[in-house]
Structures are given as C-alpha cells and as structure tokens.
Amino acid sequence: MQNPGSQPPGSATMTDSPSPRYSNVAIAFHWLLAIAIVASFCVGLYMSGLTMSPTRLKLFNWHKWAGMTIFALSGLRLLWRQMHRPPADVDMPAWQQRAAHATHIAMYLLFFGVPLAGWAYSSAAGFPVVVYGVIPLPDFVPVDKGLAESLKALHHWLAFGLAFAVIGHVGAALKHQFIDRDGLLLRMWPRRPSTSLLIP
C-alpha cells in the first residue's frame, strides 16, 4: 500500500496532482492481485502434497491459469501506475520509507518472476501452458528434465519469497493503521473510509 516513489511533477505520463487515496482502478488491481496471489499460493501448497490423480492435474492447470492471470494483472497495474500519480508518502522515518520502497519493488519483480519461473518449469517438463484451456502459450525453454527440476526449485523459492514479502507488507500496513494511526491502510481500502474503520 506504500508507493515506491513519486514521479516528477511535470511528468507527461501522469495525471494531475495526487489524491490522498489511490484511484478506484488502482484499488481494484491491488485487491484482485492480492486475492489471486493468496489463492494461487494456497493451491500450490495443497496440490504439491497430492499423489498423481485427475484432481491434482486439474489443480495444476488452475494454478497455471492463476499464475498467468497474476502476470497479466501485474503488467496492467504497472502500466496504470506509470500513467497515474499515486498518493504521496505518509510521514514516516526515512528508513521506513526506504524499506517500504524496497519491499514494493521486490514484490513487483516477484509478481513477474514467480509466474515466469512456473511457465518455464512447465515448458521444460513437457507440459505446455494453455490458459483457461483455450489460449496456448509458447514454450520458451526446451523440454529438459534437469532444467525442469532446477526451474521447479526456482519457482518454489521465488513463491515463498513473495509470500514473505506480502506478509511484511501486510504487517507494515497494519502497523501504520493501528499503531502509527496515520490512515495509510484506508488509502487502499475498497470503499470510502467509514467511521467503523477510523481510529480516534
């Protein structure tokens, strides 16, 4: 919920002065990605412990589709962010700003890195990705068992890296809301702040 840095005021790719809240489109991207990432991670954990079966194969396909959806949403979200000025940072110590920006950049890199590693792993294992069962994606790595094992491990550790980054992000947002009481969380809340969310 913290932005990684404001663009120059004269940037031609952005809208006018920022609002105290994120735009409705930015909020929608944020929460759609949050739901997709949590769901995909949980499905990935669950299916990895299953024996080979039709259910496991179905979950693998759903997991791939979710990954490609996350990849596409991340691209659209990044494009939107480049064209619309985010709210200014709330007041906080410089080290917290640097940590927030670094975490945000790391998450964006992982939004793309985790799906790409999974796509490459599937291709190397000889299982092409067909999004929603109708959109075939090209195999950008050759079928190779050894490569597939390496890419599987990479996908695994990148996914856990993203999970830890998300946990840190959520923890920081809750700290700002309930300890610092600076209203940061409300800037990304799906609806306008209500009295039930405001902290006296």
Q: What pLDDT, in 10s, does the model give residues 124-139?
A: 999 999 999 999 999 9
Instruction: Kindly tell me if the per-residue pLDDT of 24 is higher than 80.
Output: yes
Look up residue 199 and give its amino acid. Answer: I
Specify the pLDDT at position 192. 59
| 24-188 carries CATH number 3.40.50 | no
Q: What is the mean pLDDT of residues 108-128?
A: 97
Specify the pLDDT at position 70. 98
Helix (H/G/I), strand (E/B), else coil: 128: coil
CA distance 161 to 159: 5
CA distance 106 to 160: 13
Dihedral, CA atoms, 158, 92, 87, 81, nearest 10 degrees? Answer: -20
Give the model confidence (pLDDT) of 169-188 as tens digits: 999 999 998 999 988 888 99
Specify the pLDDT at position 190. 84
Structural tokens at position 8:
């120059």
Specify the pLDDT at position 18. 44
Give the model confidence (pLDDT) of 154-163 as tens digits: 999 999 999 9
Give the model confidence (pLDDT) of 58-111 as tens digits: 999 999 999 999 999 999 999 999 999 888 888 889 999 999 999 999 999 999
Structural tokens at position 24:
């409705």
Mark 120-145 as b/e (b = at least 16 C-beta within 10 Å). bbbbbbebebebeeeeeeebeeeeee
Q: How confident is the model at residue 19 (pLDDT cuts 50, 70, 90)?
A: low
Residue in the structure block whose two tokens are 């075939």: 136
What is the domain partition of the chain in residue ranges?
A: 24-188
CA distance 175 to 164: 16
Q: What is the mean pLDDT of residues 19-38?
A: 92
Specify the pLDDT at position 23. 92
Percent of the chain with pLDDT over 90: 74
Beta bridge partners of 130: 136
